[in-house]
Amino acid sequence: FQIYNLRTRSSIIADAFEAAFENLIDYSTAFDTLQYLEHEKEYLVWKTVKSALNTVADLGNFFTQCNDSTSYKVRTVATILPSKKKRTVYVIIQIV
């Protein structure tokens, strides 16, 4: 059962991060939109997540705590997901 269609789910994430980039909402609110990702199976939504995380990284060196920013992004997203999804997140971020 899905309440929102694929494009809407992708747009919610994109819009939340765009609002955070413009300082209209806190980044924590934008990251809250990622909490449901353990149930997400569609490529478009994961591509949107990757793009949002890359933009966050580019805008403020948000991910500079680590030499390998992709690795840090995976750890950041993986904190939201159960451990069985971590490999999927890593593979999707590498492929996209």
For 55-87, write each residue's pLDDT tens digit: 887 775 554 544 555 555 555 555 544 444 444
Q: Are 78 and 34 in contact (CB under 8 A)?
A: no
Q: Per-domain residue ranges for the chain?
A: 6-95
Q: What is the pLDDT of residues 22-48, one digit of tens each?
A: 889 888 889 889 888 888 889 999 999
User: Residues 6 or more apart from 3 whose CB is under 8 A from it?
Assistant: none
Token representation of residue 88: 């999927």
Q: Are 65 and 71 in contact (CB under 8 A)?
A: no
State the Cα–Cα distance between residues 77 and 35, nearest whole angstrom.
9
**pTM for this predicted structure:** 0.62
Token representation of residue 43: 């490529």
